Amino acid sequence: MPRQPVGERLVCYLPAMRRAVCPGSYDPVTNGHLDIIGRAAGVVDELVVAVLVNKNKKTLFSVEERVEMLREVTSDLPTVRVDTWHGLLVDYCVANGVKAIIKGLRAVSDFDYELQMAQMNYQLTAVETLFMPTNPLHSFLSSSLVKEVATYGGDVAHLVPESVHTRLVRRLTERA
């Protein structure tokens, strides 16, 4: 994009298409993810929720199932699109004209690794990372903990969307 140096600053004189990505494993999507997705969609023109595929990570749901669940629970958000990608997140960003990665930060403990990834991603392709503080209601919430609690019979109905909860209970029952 053309940029005009003005003094010390670089000023964009063409409006950018503000397309951002919320990447993750989403195995499965939780209310914490949904909070970030909804708020992120409010500050960009288009938000891609990208299910990143990590072949070394064992997941409870297939990529197709994770995408389906995400599509169901974001169907009320017209500017949100769900996609998948095998490989580096920055390559997805370059291939799809994505200007920024938006990540939720639950607590300071998330920050070290997220900062490292943000810096790595920036030096690879100059893609920006924007951090959004998680709603404190969800700061303890992760897909892994939801799966663990549900596996041992704990109630997680208030932590994930209803359709996800139904699938989660069904999957864990099948596996038991």
Task: Report, as residue numbers or ranges, the catalytic residues.
Answer: 33, 57, 106, 143
Q: Which is nearer to ligand PNS, 117 or 145 (CB)?
A: 117
Q: Which helix (H) or strand (E) covers residue 64, if one does?
A: helix 63-73
Site string for ligand PNS, 107-146 (x = CB under 6 A): ----------x--xx-------------------------
Choices 5-13, 21-29, 36-44, 152-160 (CB under 6 A): range interacting with ligand PNS: 21-29
Q: Return the number of other C-beta atoms located less than 10 Å from residue 105's C-beta.
A: 16
Which amino acid does the sequence have at 12?
A: C
User: Whole-number minimum distance, CB 14 to ligand PNS, in Å?
Assistant: 28
Quote the least distance from Cβ 5 to ligand PNS, whole Å.
Answer: 30
Q: Is 23 in the site for ligand PNS (CB under 6 A)?
A: yes
**Size of site (CB under 6 A) for ligand PNS:** 9
CA 54 to each of CA 12, 64, 85, 94, 123: distance values in angstroms, whole numbers, following the listed order: 36, 14, 9, 19, 22
> Binding mask 69-98 vs ligand PNS (x if CB under 6 A, - otherwise)?
-------------------xx---------
**Which residue, among 111, 110, 85, has the nearest Cα to 98 in the 3D structure?**
85
Q: Looking only at residues 37 through 56 of this chain, which bind ligand PNS when binding is defined by CB under 6 A?
A: 52
CB-count exposure of residue 124 (10 Å: 0-12, 13-18, 19+):
middle
Six token digits for residue 123: 């030096």
